[in-house]
Amino acid sequence: MHFLNFLATLLATLLFSTALANPVKLGEICGFAIGRVDNDDILNPLYSTAKCVPFEATVPTERISVGPNCACLFYKVKDCMDDLPFVVIEKDVEDVDPAIQNYACHVMPH
């Protein structure tokens, strides 16, 4: 288990140190937190940020979709010091943990 923590921390560090070494494009939509109401998808945008921000959605999130050239970290703790953040890179993720409180997304260099 410690090895998995190490790998997640290493991946997060590499992603964000690379993103921060280059100009970070702030405010771009990196993806969406998606919930459903009456068979309609409700999209809550996930923006590229310079720091960790509150994860807020208007409806319970059922899946997360992160677009090309973006990486997002999701945290279950308010101070974003989670030992094992949930990392999403260019994909859709089902069954989102309802305990997520904060996120940070970055546009990755091409």
CATH at residue 12: 2.60.20
Q: What is the pLDDT of residues 54-92, one digit of tens each?
A: 998 889 999 999 998 899 999 998 888 888 888 888 888
Three-class DSSP category at 73: strand
pTM exceeds 0.75: no
Domain count, the chain: 1
**What amino acid is encoded at 79 in this protein?**
D
Domain that residue 86 falls in: 2-107
Which pLDDT score, from 0 to 100, does residue 68 have? 87
pLDDT tens, residue by residue, 25-55: 788 999 999 999 999 999 999 999 988 999 9
pLDDT band at 21 (very low <50, low <70, confident <90, very high): very low
Taking the C-alpha atoms of residue 38 and residue 90, their distance in angstroms, rounded to an integer, is 27
